[in-house]
Amino acid sequence: RGKRAFIAGVADDNGYGWAIAKSLAAAGAEILVGTWVPALNIFETSLRRGKFDESRVLPDGSLMEITKVYPLDAVFDSLEDVPEDIKTNKRYAGSSKWTVSEVAESVKEDFGSIDILVHSLANGPEVTKPLLETTRRGYLAAISASSYSYVSLLKHFLPIMNPGMYLVSRGSSISLTYIASERIIPGYGGGMSSAKAALESDTRVLAFEAGRKQKVRVNTVSAGPLRSRAAKAIGFIDMMIDYSLANAPLQKELSADEVGNTAAFLASPLASAITGAVIYVDNGLNAMGVGV
Ligand code: NAI
């Protein structure tokens, strides 16, 4: 049977989540997505009206099918965690069962199991502020939405992830990180650099725990700059793309598909011995010591 993937963090056709969904679909996987509750309406409407049809085209000419879109807010683990003002918020009240544990429960009810879990989401309300000017609240919000959201997703989905047989694990989990976790990238503020450092460290620890418990592999892709919705909100994305073009070993703009294809590789048996790894998909920019 083909594999089934749940991709958290798809709300348009411009980000890495969409590209990963396409690469997995092209490789034969069934696609489920988790969409941030406030973005759900417009995403589903656009999907239905065919606004994404051009970007749904797969290499064989067919269109990517998304079997089901789940509303998701990855900063809440269960209904008890949701404050009153969110519960009654107009954009949230129209949907239900969007906390992490409830989404995992719904996917279990609908499909029984998944093989691939993708975390392609981040949020740092103070991302435009330098770390020295970041508030405790902003810092913790960045960690909650961008790092713990992954721990929580894996924790709740792991019991329904297929462990596979013999030596080859079938279950695999992937997140997206950024080199600002390990090198200074001025402008990536608000504790987002800290959040990515936590995500990468957690990738190693979770690889051990999920590997021992369920033979599930856990890796993260350190991606180069892409003009996604989230990246445009940071404000320095064009500069980062230009910097990469000028300085990376490969002088070409990074395409989201290149990250998607790496995710498909990591989720495949071709990567059966790869776990706990940070894989760079950045035209090699991470290997440079100085700008040229
Ligand atoms: P994107 O805007 O396509 O994806 C971010 C998604 O996160 C959006 O769909 C947004 O609705 C969702 N989201 C935010 N808060 C959420 C919450 N509480 N619950 C559920 N969903 C929530 O942007 P992009 O850039 O493709 O981001 C995907 C991942 O790639 C992120 O982890 C990002 O940090 C990472 N990345 C992006 C780079 C870039 O240059 N765009 C570079 C390296 C990593």
Catalytic residue among 16, 70, 150, 178, which? 178
User: 104: closest CA among 149, 142, 140, 66?
Assistant: 149
Q: Which of 150-159, 166-175, 277-286 has the lowest mean pLDDT?
A: 166-175
Query: What radius of gyration do the chain's Cα atoms show?
Result: 18
Which amino acid belongs to residue 119?
H
Q: Is any ligand 1 atom within 6 A of the Cβ of residue 189?
A: no
Laid out side by side, the sheet with 278-281 consists of: 66-72, 30-36, 4-8, 116-119, 172-177, 217-223, 278-281
pLDDT digits (tens, 9 = 90+) for 37-49: 999 999 999 999 9
ipTM summary value = 0.99
Listed in sequence order, the residues at least 6 apart from 96 whose beta carbon sits closer than 8 Å to its beta carbon are: 71, 102
Q: Which atom of ligand 1 is nearest to the CA of 39?
A: 11
pTM of the model: 0.98
Residue 188 appears among annotated catalytic residues: yes
Q: Please state, in angstroms and rounded to a whole number, the distance separating the CA atoms of residues 84 and 61.
A: 47
pLDDT digits (tens, 9 = 90+) for 114-145: 999 999 999 999 999 999 999 999 999 999 99
Q: Which residue has the tokens 């991709």?
A: 7
